Structure 1
Amino acid sequence: MSTVRVDSWIWAVRLTKTRSQAASACRAGHVRINGVTAKPAAQVAIGDEIRLRAAGRERIVEVTRLIGKRVGAPVAAECLIDRSPPPPPPEIRATLPVRDRGAGRPTKRERRDTDRLRGRV
């Protein structure tokens, strides 16, 4: 096996829960192979750097072994080198204000406050 589809490899090494999620991430432009946006059928080879944006953070991994089928977590860990930056601590992550259920639409003032909090001034 000299090459494997990128969506299949991402799913096999457990970076996504399902293969369809991996394919959707590729179609949305969230997967890059060696700096180039990848389609789901793009081929992965040993030594490639894969960048995946998922769950609010970027995962940077290097391919060390090719697998096409999903395997156990210990075997999957041997197939990649994780070079991802550590996730930010929970204190730093901005929490969005939670509206009470049934509170109706936010007022214009509340929307402006939320936009300010998110950094969309």
Structure 2
Amino acid sequence: MPLKIRLSRGGAKKRPFYRVVVADSRMPRDGRFIERLGVFDPLKAKDSAERVVLDAEKAKEWIAKGAQPTDRVARLLDGLGVLTREAQSNPKKALPKKKAQERAAASAAAAEKAAAAAAPEA
């Protein structure tokens, strides 16, 4: 049975509130779960102690049993010091795409041509 430690959404419309649960990955997001580990309230201030309330010992036990935390839960566990996750970086994401690079090259060539045309006149 593939287990996940994930968020189960509760709360009203536009007012999310999440439970951190251990569930079978084949179950619906807000469906049946095995154990509730804590809560996450994204509307609280980031430095608030009540933003993430989690039983760290239970989380460690479930991870030792093979439960895989989702990306968001892994970030929460990392913030609490329960789990260490590698920082992810995508250096190519910030680079301009192909068309933008072509436009930049064309504008640079035009600026260079204009500078060359202005230089002999002076």
Fold shared per TM-score above 0.5:
no
Q: TM-score, normalised by structure 2?
A: 0.29
More helix by share: 2
Q: TM-score, normalised by structure 1?
A: 0.29
